[in-house]
Amino acid sequence: MKKPYLIVEWNDCETEAKGWLVVHNFVKGYAGGGTRMHPTVTREEVERLAEAMAYKYNASESVTTGGCKAGISYDYKAPDAYEVLRRFLIAMIPYIEVGVSLGSDLGTKYEDVLRVFDEFNIGIPLTKSMKEDLSVQKGIKDFNAMLATKIDCFLLNDAVTGYGVAFCADEAWKFKGENKGGKVVIQGFGCVGASCAFKLSQLGYKVVGISDANILVTCEEGLDVQKLIDHKNSHGEMNQEYFEPNYVVRTNKEWLDVDCDILIPSALEDVINEANGSQVKAGLIVEAANIPISADGDKIIKQKGIDVVNDFVANLGAIRFYDAVIFGLVKPDPQAVMDDIERLCRKNTYNLFTEAKKQNRYQRDLACELFEPTVRDLIES
């Protein structure tokens, strides 16, 4: 199942924006994935992301959903970014109406996606049979209500992925025989990076470095994650006016130079690659971003003997939240949702690391076997 089931290309009629929808596979006529917007997005990247989503749904124990992804090559900070997103989603409506469920991803907001769907009376994308299922309809109402709920200082939907990554990191670190929280560097400070940093701080880890689109900030004694979150801007960028005197500000290209135990890439794809893979100092990488390590970079990580919790194991929180609530797998309560995500993330990580140790194999190679998608259904008639 290496080839995607469906690829759709879109060219904007008002800007130079270009976009793609890729469905890797359908399960029961349904597929889910986010929509990202960034100037560097390519068709190949969206294909890789859609494949990762298919693996991720298997890892999240879903029996209802295949993997898809959408990507738009455009600056998400541009004044007309929402209008570009809107035109892209309008072009995708024929696919959305038959069961391609698009959400948000890097550079887009879920509320903006839903705003477009509501404009065209789509709501949450469903298949025909799901639209006629009363239990699914109840799940949608529950899910919509939960989008406005909070856990700690975050909206629930902004926390589920980052918290899940933190649970995976904690489980992997403990598996390695470490009883005390280690030093963490996080690359990317949007919803995922910020919520992951917050939860790891709660779990006793010392976040010694965070990079965003502009800078890298480090502190050997540990950063005040809550304060950084309280004062970041809408693009997930930190405000230096609120930095402590002992914080060191560096260029964000130096994030691999910071001494740490755990490295968490939380933003773009292929940020660890052939050119910089040898610089990784951490003994554990937990992939909060999708495909943050290139194929050539991964060869270096594997050769160096660095342990990895790969993306579709670590960052499944958002899709598990969606599936678990809409299909009635958990009680529609923020803590129940998070407890379910913690259970799943810790179980998958423990099983992956246990089996990798038993077989003396690299975790990513084994994960690709354990969670390989095998179902390729057709669109529901």
- Catalytic positions, please? 69
Q: How far apart are CA 271 and CA 263, in angstroms?
A: 12
The answer to whether residues 285 and 293 touch, using CB atoms and an 8 Å cutoff, is yes
CB neighbourhood size of 324 (10 A): 24
